[in-house]
Amino acid sequence: MTLVATPRPADDIAEILVNAEDIGAKVREMGARIAADYAGRDLVLVSILKGALPFLADLMRATQIPLALDFLEVSSYGTGTESSGVVRILKDLAQPIAGRDVLVVEDILDTGQTLNYVIDHLHAQRPASVRLCVLLDKPTRRVVPVEIDYRGFEIPDKFVVGYGLDYAERYRNLPFVGVLKSEVYARPS
């Protein structure tokens, strides 16, 4: 019997943009700032599923104040590498946010279309405030202006995966943010 080596997800990475240690340090720094800014307030972290989950988990542990969690699941990419521009809410919040301070936690801000839609959706529910925390910002791709209150890293216009970000539901489990080799997403499905 011949054993064939199975490719590892990291083999599909052209370069690492942000390593695990830098992510950890930045998330701890952001958590401390959020804790100071929201001390004594009724904070709800609203995470965008699925990509922001690792970021949310680390960020909430680094934010040393009482807080609540809720989730939205939205779709604008499907299985492609470009946003379709059509945003759909697949799962809405489980709890009311009226009168509460909401901090949207997202993995990446690209064109701004999805987050602009999400922020408008949340404002319609009459929270005390809505602010935005993103791990990665690609400002060169912005189509819709979106104000970022807490920014992790500014990155170039490259297709990235890892630390929650995916391509066709793969690579989310990588501990770093890396650029996916173009031949991976150029392969026929």
User: Would you tell me how many other CB atoms lie within 10 Å of the CB of residue 57?
Assistant: 15
Record the tokens describing residue 144, joined without a space: 């819709």
First to last CA, the chain: 29
Which tens digit of pLDDT belongs to each residue from 103-157?
Answer: 999 999 999 999 999 999 999 999 999 999 999 999 999 999 999 999 999 999 9
Instruction: Report the percent of the chain where pLDDT is more than 70.
Output: 89
Q: Which of 181, 174, 138, 139 is nearest to 51 (CA)?
A: 174
* pLDDT exceeds 80 at position 4: no
Alpha carbons 165 and 160: distance in angstroms, whole number: 7
Pick among 3.90.76.10, 3.30.465.10, 3.40.50.2020, 3.20.20.140: CATH of 20-186: 3.40.50.2020
Q: Do 111 and 141 form a contact (C-beta atoms < 8 A)?
A: yes
* pLDDT exceeds 80 at position 81: no
pTM over 0.85: yes
Residues listed for the chain: 189
Task: Identify the active-site residue in 110, 120, 157, 166.
Answer: 110
Domain boundaries, the chain: 20-186
Annotation says 110 is catalytic: yes
Q: Tell me the one-letter amino acid at 149.
A: D
